[in-house]
Amino acid sequence: MLWLKAFHVIFMVTWFAGLFYLPRLYVYHASASDQPGRQRFKIMERKLFVMMTIGATFTTLFGVWMLVAVPGYLKMGWLHAKLTFVIALFAYHAWCYRLLVDFRNDANRHDERWYRLFNEVPSILLIAIVILVVVKPF
Ligand code: HEM
């Protein structure tokens, strides 16, 4: 069980490295005007997205494995709240993919400021999830 939790947390850190940095790349990409610079951003974004998707997959795999190993978790209120935030995180991840495709097609529709705000969302979800899972307030 502790091994599962350790790998769950390790992959969660990998996932969040991408969730924090990919929108930051979008901030710079949105204001890049030269063609070689844009091409470089596209490659970096694609590679980072692959890495964070691997992180998301294994975080989920080890998380679900813990739920199967200890069915009692499913009766706990904090876990339900946590999973609701995790679903929001999946939606954010999918949204990042949509934006990546827009950039790839040179069809970005947002400015730098919008990406700076967008970049704040994973921090809020991280704070909520970690407090729920560690403090277990209900
Ligand atoms: C489908 C997704 C997920 C499932 C099913 C899941 C499930 C679980 C379960 C059952 C535990 C053990 C809780 C305990 O023993 O107290 C756990 C621990 C943990 N989870 Fe998740 N989790 C998921 C996603 C996430 C995400 C996205 C994050 C971070 C944002 C996260 C952060 C943590 C942390 C930090 C712990 C260790 C808490 C501790 O024992 O101190 N989990 N998770």
**Maximum distance among all alpha carbons in the chain?**
55
pTM of the model: 0.94
- Quote the domain boundaries for residue 14: 2-135
Nearest to 126, CA basis, from 82, 62, 91 = 82
| Ligand 1 centroid – CA 92 distance (Å) | 18
| Residue from 2, 5, 58, 60 whose mutation best tests the ligand 1 pocket (most atoms within 8 A of CB) | 5
Tokens of 6: 């350790």
What pLDDT score was predicted for residue 28?
97
What pLDDT score was predicted for residue 38?
95
Please report which confidence band the pLDDT of residue 4 belongs to, taking 50, 70 and 90 as the band edges.
very high
Q: Ligand 1 pocket: which residues have CB below 6 Å?
A: 5, 8-9, 12, 59-60, 63-64, 66-67, 73, 86, 89, 126, 129-130, 133-134
End-to-end CA distance of the chain: 22
pLDDT in tens, 13-54: 999 999 999 999 999 999 998 999 999 999 999 999 999 999
Alpha helices in 2-138 (DSSP H): 2-30, 35-69, 77-104, 112-118, 121-135
| Ligand 1 centroid – CA 82 distance (Å) | 8
Number of domains in the chain: 1
Calpha distance 37→40 (Å, rounded): 5
